[in-house]
Amino acid sequence: MDAGNNLNNSNSKNKKSILFSANLGFLYKEKPFLERIEAAKKDGFDGIECHWPYDTPYIKVQNVLNKTQLPLIGINTHPGNLKKGFFGFSALPKYVDKAKSEIRKSIDYGVNVGIKNLHVMAGNIIQSQYSKKTFCDNLRYACKLANKFKINILIEPLNSKDHPNYFLSTIDQAIEILLEINLPNLKIMFDFYHVHHLKGNFLLHFQQAKKHIGHIQIASVFKRNEPSNYEFDFLKDILNDDAIKKPLWVGAEYKPQTGFVKDGVNWIRHFK
Omega before residue 247 within 30° of 0, cis: yes
Q: Is 156 a catalytic residue?
A: yes
Annotation marks residue 176 as catalytic: no
For residue 249, which of 137, 133, 132, 154 has the smallest C-alpha distance?
154
Q: Which residue in the list 49, 102, 231, 253 is annotated as catalytic? A: 253
Element (H, E) at 169: none
What secondary structure letter does DSSP report for 122?
B
Residue 123, C-beta contacts closer than 8 angstroms, at least 6 positions apart: 80, 86, 87, 88, 89, 90, 91, 92, 95, 166, 167
Q: Is the dihedral of CA 263, 70, 53, 160 positive or negative?
A: negative
Catalytic residue among 49, 156, 226, 231: 156
| DSSP-derived 3-state class of residue 18 | strand
Residues with catalytic roles: 156, 253
